[in-house]
A and B are shown apart, each in its own frame.
Chain A
Amino acid sequence: MLNNPFTLVGKYDVVLQGSQTNINNYLIKQLPKSTVFLDTKLNVVYASDSLVQEFNLPKSTILGLPISELFDTSDLEWSASMKACLEGLNQEKEIQQITDCTNCTIWVEYIMIPWYDQSENVIGIILQLEDVSNRILRELEQDKLKMHLREKSEIANIGSWEYDHETQKLSWCNTTKKIHEVADDYQPNIDKAILFYKEGYSRNTISLALFKALENKQAWNEKLQLITASGKEIWVNAAGKPLFQNGIYKGLIGTFQDITDYVMSETKTKESEHLLRTVIDSLPLNVYIKDLDSKKVLVNKSECDYLGVDDPKELLGKSDFDLYDKDMAQISRDEDLEVMEFQRPILGRETTSVKKDGTSTTFLTSKIPLNDDDDKPYGLLGISLDISDLKQKEHELRDLINVTSLQNKKLINFAHIVSHNLRSHSANFSMLLDFLVKEVDEDERENIIRMLTEASDGLLETLENLNEVVAISTNTNIEKKPVDLGRLITKVEQNLTGFLQTNKADIINEIPKNTSLNVVPAYMESILMNFITNAVKYKHPDREPIIRLSLTKNDKDTILSIEDNGMGIDLNKYGDKLFGMYKTFHNNQDARGIGLYITKNQIEAMNGRVIACSEVGEGTTFKIYFDETN
C-alpha cells in the first residue's frame, strides 16, 4: 500500500488530476497480478501491491523510482522491448532470467503493452510480471528426471509402459519398444502386446494377469517368454499394476525387462549344477565336502550308501564324531585340520575306516583344502576310493605267494636233500668199488664188501625216508576227521609203555575230556609219537622226564602244547635247522635226523604249523597250531 501518493504526484512527468489519480492509484494497487505502470522515462508511476509482495520490493519507495532500480533491465531484449513498446508496439509474452533487488536470480514471465492516455498518446508502459522461477525449476527438474529415467531404462534394459483406460491407448517407452524389436514409431495396443507373448504358458499367464488386475486390482510380476518382432525368443520380466483414482479404474502401468541373459545363465548354472550332481553321484567314489568344523556340507550317493542312509540330508551338518567311534573320528578330524590349517592336501593315503557296527573298510583317501576368493580356507573336499576288495585280493595274493615261495623253498630244500643223500651214498659206492677192484688182501676185500652192504642198506633207508616225505607232501587228498585227542594220546601212551617205563617217563595229560580235533588220525598219532619219544630221548641226565600235554585256543587256532623238562636245545644256534632233514643236534646214537622233518611235514599237510621254545638245561615246548576255521 502506498502511504501517500499525493506527495509523489508532482514528481511525475505525466500529471494525473486530483481524484482521477487517486482512483487510478487505488484500482491499480488492487490488481491481482503484479503490474507496474511506467512513464516514458521508465519511472514507476503506479504499482500493484502484488508486485511489491511478489518481488519483495520495499513498500514505501518504489513510486517514482526507475524500473532499472527495481529489476536489472540491462538485458538487451528487455530494453529493446520497452523501447518498442513506447513506440506503440505490443510485445509478446517473454520469460527472462533477471536479478531482483535482493540480488537473487529469478525467472520472470512478463508482458508489456503501451500505456495510452485519452488521446491515444503513449504515455508509458504497462508491465505485467510473474515470478515463474518455481515453474521453470520444476520444468528443468522434470526434464532432468525424464532424462535420468530414459538413461536408466536404457542402461538397465528396463522398459516401461502405460495404458490409459479412457483412451484405450497403450504406450511403450523406447526401451520397451527396443525389447520388442519394433520401430520407435510403433503404435502398440493391448491385443498386439499380448500376441507378442509366446503361445501357451506365457500368453495364458499374461492374459490371466491382466484379467486379475482388472477384477481384483491385483499387480503382477512374471517371468515369461516373448517372441520379438524379428522372431527371436527372449525371456522378459513383465510387471504391472492397475491404477485407480478415487476408486475408479484409470489404466495400467508397468515395467518390462529383458532377462534372457539372466535366465540363460541361470538355466546354465542349474544345468551345470545338475551335471555336477549327476557326475558326483555316479562316481564309484565317496565324495564329500566338509566345513571348517569338519561337518559335512555335501555328500554324494556313494557316501550315503556307505553310511547307509537314503537321503543326503541325513548326513549334512554331521561330523565324523556323529558317524564313527571317537578314536576313529579323532584321527579323521586331525587329518582334516592338517589339510585345512597347513593347506597340505592328502593324496591317495591308505586309510582304514571302521563304522560303528564294526565294518572295516580300506580307503584310498584324498583330502583337498577348499579356499574362498581371499584364499581363506572354508573347508575341504574329500574323495575316498573303497579298495577293500583290492586289499582282500592283495592279501590273498600275498598269502598265495607266501605259500608258493614256502613250497618252492621246501622243494628246493628237498631236492638238495635228495641230491646230497643220494650223492653221498653213490660217492661211497664209487669209492669202495674203486678200492675193491684194486684190493688184493682178502680180509680188506671182505671189509670193503661189508661196508658196501652198509652203504646199500643206508641208501635203502634214505630212499624209504624220502618216500615217506614225498607221500606226505604229495598226498593232498588226505582226509581230516574229528578225533578224540585224549583217546589218541592214551593209545600212543599204550604203544610206548615199555619205552616210557624204562625211562621212568611221566606223561601229564591236561587236555579236557572229549576234546575233538579235526585231523588226519594217522598223522596225528605219528606226530604225538614223535614228540613224546623225542622228549624222552633228549631227557635231562639229572631228572626223570615229565611230558605235559595241554590245549589252548586263540581267535582262530587251537594250540596243542607238548612241554618237556629235557635237556633243551639252543635255538639261537639250531633254530633254523631244528625241523630240517638229517639234522641232529645231540650226540645221540638213535638220532636219524628225520623225525621232526616228517612231523613238520605232517602238521603242514593238515594246514597246521609248529613252533618250538626251548631253554638249554630246562626243557622244550612244542606248540602245534591247528587252524580249525580252515
Chain B
Amino acid sequence: MKQIRAISIIDDDPITVFGIKKMLNSINVCDDIRAFANGKEAIDHIKELITQNQPVPEVIFLDINMPIMDGWQFLEEFINLPLEEKIRINIVTSSIDLYDKKQWEYFRQKTHHLIDFKNKPLRKSEIAAITKAA
C-alpha cells in the first residue's frame, strides 16, 4: 500500500536526486517520484497538472541554490497557486546561511502548506518521518 500519490524532487545535483530517490524507494512509500533540475521546470510541471485538473505531488523535496529559478523563487510562485490541498515541502540544502533560515520562517508564515527545513545530507532514518502527507 503506497501512502503517497506523487513526490517531486527539485535539485540540480544528480547525486542528491539519486540519494533521495534511493532512500524513498527503500521505504517503498511512493511509485510516482519525479526529479526536476530547477524550480522553473518543477513549477511548469505543477501548473500543467493544475490546468489538466490532475492532482499535484503531495510531498516536494526542494533545493535552494539552483540555476534559472532557485528554491525561494519557486516557493514564491508555488504558494500563490490555487491549491486547497496542504502540500508538504521539505527544503533540503547544504546552506547554513542565516538568510536562508529567515526566508524559511518568512514562507512558513505566509502559506498554509507545511514547509520543513533540512540540512544535507538527509539520513535514511529521518526520511520516513518527512515523507508523509501534510
Contacts and interface: CB of A to CB of B under 8 A. Distances in A.
Interface string B43-75: 000000000000000000000010110000100
B67 A428 contact: no
A628 to B, nearest CB: 36
A412 to B, nearest CB: 9
A444 to B, nearest CB: 9
A116 interface: no
Given A583-B67, A586-B68, A427 B97 contact: no
B75 to A, nearest CB: 15
Interface string A400-431: 00000000000000001001110110011011
Interface residues of A, number: 25
A416 B15 contact: no
A424 B92 CA distance: 11
Interface in B4-51: 13-16, 18-19, 22, 38
B98 to A, nearest CB: 9
B19 A420 contact: no
B45 to A, nearest CB: 15
Contacts of B119: 423, 427
Given A428-B16, A428-B121, A431-B19, A416 B67 contact: no
A584 B65 CA distance: 10
Nearest to B95: A420
A451 interface: yes
Given A431-B19, A435-B19, A451-B15, A424 B67 contact: no
A451 B73 CA distance: 29
A428 B13 contact: yes
Interface string B106-134: 00000000000001111110000000000
A435 B65 contact: no
A427 B94 contact: yes
B1 interface: no
A424 B38 CA distance: 16
A434 B18 CA distance: 13
Contacts of A591: 67
Nearest to A413: B97
A420 B65 contact: yes
A454 interface: yes
B124 A424 contact: no
A423 B118 CA distance: 13
A423 B94 contact: yes
Contacts of A593: 67
Given A416-B97, A420-B94, A420-B97, A435 B67 contact: no
Contact of B15 (A421, A428, A584, A586): A428
Contacts of B65: 420, 582
Contacts of B94: 420-421, 423-424, 427
B1 to A, nearest CB: 25
A431 B67 CA distance: 23
A455 interface: yes
A397 B38 CA distance: 43
Contacts of B97: 416, 419-420
Interface string A427-444: 110111011000000000
Contact of A424 (B13, B14, B73): B13
B68 A454 contact: no
A6 interface: no
A587 interface: yes
Nearest to B64: A420
B67 A585 contact: yes
Nearest to A412: B97
B96 A419 contact: yes
Given A427-B94, A427-B120, A451-B14, 6 more contacts: A423-B96, A428-B121, A431-B15, A432-B15, A573-B73, A587-B68
- When A and B form their complex, which 3 residue pairs have the shortest distance between CB atoms, in order from nearest? A584-B67, A427-B120, A423-B94
Interface of A: 416, 419-421, 423-424, 427-428, 430-432, 434-435, 451, 454-455, 573, 582-587, 591, 593
18 contacts: A419-B96, A420-B94, A421-B94, A423-B94, A423-B95, A423-B119, A424-B16, A424-B120, A430-B121, A431-B15, A431-B121, A434-B121, A435-B22, A454-B15, A583-B67, A584-B68, A586-B68, A591-B67
